Structure 1
């Protein structure tokens, strides 16, 4: 029996601010509101349900004698319905060092049973059963290792349940809905990274997809490579020279492979960087060089000469490039803050390039960079990107001016002045990379040479 003083005591979380932030990153743009604390309200099912029923999404966090912090999330609120709950968003987690490692509910399985007892996940983990956590082997809902999850120490020292509140903002208050549904969470980031790691081109003769980046000077082609490389390295990197000096910083044709970690294996794609497009004739990337790049004739580190297009040697002229050497997807990199200022001459150059690429049947998309500089709401909070009507208008504008479908225009923010990685930024960048790999597969699917 808990004393009246204990029942009325203010609720204080056992989570550190860093742990709270890490858990919020798993769930997206949310805040955690502590509903139930076992040491205050008692280790009884009636106390738990009185505080937690009909509260919507909740996060359960428990602590054991060995110092483990673990628990589970469900997006479906408790109601004592007696039903087996299907919840694709549910997961179990455990802090492994500073970062929580999670296990999502397995496909086709129920997440939990909504009964009158204490919380259970998939009838595998029963929380707060007489002050302990009970694990039953053989369940199919979650794939996890009990020793790693909580060190096989079932005696709990505390249990907390938090209501998960989506943070309200200007767009939510005006009841605007996101114009694209992308979950900006660390779970989504990890799933996208795993997708990239496991990706294999549709044709066995190609080991790595070659993605060509084309765009005006200073739009962020080299910065995109640096950003993707940063995500897989685990910290911000600047391997490719980037910046803006009035003319193109990139003077060579560069092929940039990306490794899965500093000492990891090469990932199944290569980003190909080119000299920037410029207004003046005889400056920037020569349009005639594009054809040679697309067909795989220009070697890595070839130095562009704006006054004269690339001339393949006799050996290259007599030997057609293999499918492995050709470009499989083209990405136009456009500065979101300068779309309306794009000159007619640059737009005409892109139109000529598009016609050449279309003739070869290579898929194309647009990477719209510097969205934070284009919209003050997005600059304040990148989470606003698909709630911003201004960014939506910019996507439609670049689609109309370049002749690319709206679905193939992806807004992103490259790393420029940041010192640490940010989940929202990573998800946008990885989603764009995912689209590039999908377009490359479309190319392989349609190309007769790929059969």
Structure 2
């Protein structure tokens, strides 16, 4: 069958209603893209035929609707509109809503159709219909479970639209390469071997802590468990998947796990332990509880403790009467953030991370941010991982993470975890080992700090 040609759209100009801040947020959520306005209902009409005339065969598109209550909401699909009369599977599809300072993004549920592709009004999941019945309104039917929609939060239950726009989504041609790397990395086998040697021989500054305990904290699906699997893969010599990882909507990790890593399958234990936690979620009563994090930091929660999001950890009275040893405490905290979702981070999740940061700061524990999935965020990095420190886009993402989490830029480390690869890759290993080496250095800063004499107290 001959592939349908992309419909050429006339070049008359009409003004976008989308505020720049919201446009930037949507573009960043899609991995540094550009938006071209295809259809504007107030100009071309609210009729389904007008929508299809301008939006069919245009590739990925994003629909943006505006109502009288000030809500900006809509949905993204990566699959063409073609009036095929078929259900469309699209794992990349999502709905979004902006209102005041609030923003939310709703991914299509796994296993469900994203939309129905016919000659009617654009819809998402047979649930949310825009320009329904050729009118300036939105209709929610709620007949399927493709998207978890709360109409009050998505559009304030105001169904009357003042505008509806559709944008063509294209890779931004302005993605640029810096003339010089903004961080220096040696992408060589010798450097990998050097890093592995430094990590193998590392000894914590305080003898009572035989191994550095590193706690991984981050939203669901950011890559905490995948980081452990990736580091384990490097020292094992092939790709492994010991810790459960994936992209489910809720955390796959339901226990507190401490993962020691051996130098080779039957080698000696390496001088660090990676501690994995349940993923953070923005809703109260879901995901990892902040009080549980406090107990983990202070060494009270045992390995394989099963989290209960409805109730924080209650330590055994006999054990809680004695303070945890330094070896049981956390020496470095690593926040794991998905580079493709930085701009999607909700205010509630940002507030949770800020509360955690305040607690970690109060204990003087070293902190680092691991920015994962950099290859998915930037096409230049996807093409060649060595471009990670040449990409102006990744540089802006590092700066954004620094600003939103309140950590220095030097503490934000881009990495790519092993996810679909079957064999180890040198550049991937160098980035991962560099990040791990920084974690061990930061832990030494923590040990050095607690060894410092306090005025009025003997050393």
TM-score normalised to structure 2 length: 0.60
Residue 380 (structure 1) shift: 0.9
Residues 390-439 of structure 1: CA distance to partner in whole angstroms, max 9, x if unpaired? 00000000000000100000000000000000000000000000000000
User: Is 1:378–1:388's contact at 8 Å kept on the other side of the alignment?
Assistant: yes
Q: Could you say which residue in structure 2 is the equivalent of 1:83?
A: none
Q: Could you say which residue in structure 2 is the equivalent of 1:372?
A: 375
Q: In structure 2, do the counterparts of structure 1 residues 415 and 352 end up closer, same or farther at CA, with 3 Å as the change threshold?
A: same
Matches within 5 A, 1:189-200: 189-200=192-203
Instruction: Give aligned pairs, total.
Output: 281
**Separation in 1, partners of 2:401, 2:332:** 18
Match 1:427 to one of 425, 430, 434: 430
Q: Could you say which residue in structure 1 is the equivalent of 2:294?
A: 291
Residues 197-251 of structure 1: CA distance to partner in whole angstroms, max 9, x if unpaired? 0000001111100000000000000000000000000000000000121000100
Residue 367 (structure 1) shift: 0.2
User: Is 1:323–1:449's contact at 8 Å kept on the other side of the alignment?
Assistant: no
Q: Could you say which residue in structure 2 is the equivalent of 1:402?
A: 405
Q: Secondary structure at the match of 2:390?
A: coil
Matches within 5 A, 1:107-256: 176-256=179-259
Q: Could you say which residue in structure 1 is the equivalent of 2:89?
A: none
Q: Could you say which residue in structure 2 is the equivalent of 1:278?
A: 281
**Separation in 1, partners of 2:286, 2:244:** 19
Task: Report whether the alignment pairs 1:350 with 2:365.
Answer: no
**Separation in 1, partners of 2:353, 2:321:** 29
Match 1:390 to one of 393, 418, 426: 393
Q: Secondary structure at the match of 2:327?
A: coil
User: Is 1:366–1:410's contact at 8 Å kept on the other side of the alignment?
Assistant: yes
Residue 304 (structure 1) shift: 0.2
User: Is 2:234–2:429's contact at 8 Å kept on the other side of the alignment?
Assistant: yes
Residues 155-208 of structure 1: CA distance to partner in whole angstroms, max 9, x if unpaired? xxxxxxxxxxxxxxx99x977100000111111100000000000000111110
**Separation in 2, partners of 1:412, 1:245:** 21
Gaps of 5+ in 2: 1-172, 454-458
Task: Report whether the alignment pairs 1:268 with 2:271.
Answer: yes
**Separation in 1, partners of 2:193, 2:284:** 45
Task: Report whether the alignment pairs 1:447 with 2:459.
Answer: no
Q: Which runs of 4+ in 1 moved over 4 A?
A: 448-451
Gaps of 5+ in 1: 1-169
Matches within 5 A, 1:318-329: 318-329=321-332
**Separation in 1, partners of 2:386, 2:289:** 38
Task: Report whether the alignment pairs 1:304 with 2:302.
Answer: no
CA RMSD of aligned residues (A): 1.6
**Separation in 2, partners of 1:174, 1:449:** 44
**Separation in 2, partners of 1:312, 1:441:** 28
Q: Secondary structure at the match of 1:292?
A: helix
Matches within 5 A, 1:29-40: none
Residues 130-175 of structure 1: CA distance to partner in whole angstroms, max 9, x if unpaired? xxxxxxxxxxxxxxxxxxxxxxxxxxxxxxxxxxxxxxxx99x977
**Separation in 2, partners of 1:327, 1:175:** 37
Q: Could you say which residue in structure 2 is the equivalent of 1:49?
A: none
Residues 268-290 of structure 1: CA distance to partner in whole angstroms, max 9, x if unpaired? 00000000000110000001101
Residue 297 (structure 1) shift: 0.2
Residue 296 (structure 1) shift: 0.2
**Separation in 2, partners of 1:251, 1:175:** 42
Q: Secondary structure at the match of 2:343?
A: helix
Q: In structure 2, do the counterparts of structure 1 residues 174 and 233 end up closer, same or farther at CA, with 3 Å as the change threshold?
A: closer
**Separation in 2, partners of 1:219, 1:203:** 32
Q: Could you say which residue in structure 2 is the equivalent of 1:313?
A: 316
Residues 50-84 of structure 1: CA distance to partner in whole angstroms, max 9, x if unpaired? xxxxxxxxxxxxxxxxxxxxxxxxxxxxxxxxxxx
Task: Report whether the alignment pairs 1:258 with 2:261.
Answer: yes
Q: In structure 2, do the counterparts of structure 1 residues 416 and 174 end up closer, same or farther at CA, with 3 Å as the change threshold?
A: closer
Q: Could you say which residue in structure 2 is the equivalent of 1:413?
A: 416
User: Is 2:178–2:390's contact at 8 Å kept on the other side of the alignment?
Assistant: no
**Separation in 1, partners of 2:215, 2:290:** 14
**Separation in 1, partners of 2:346, 2:179:** 33
**Separation in 1, partners of 2:328, 2:316:** 16
TM-score normalised to structure 1 length: 0.61
Residue 448 (structure 1) shift: 4.2
**Separation in 2, partners of 1:174, 1:285:** 38
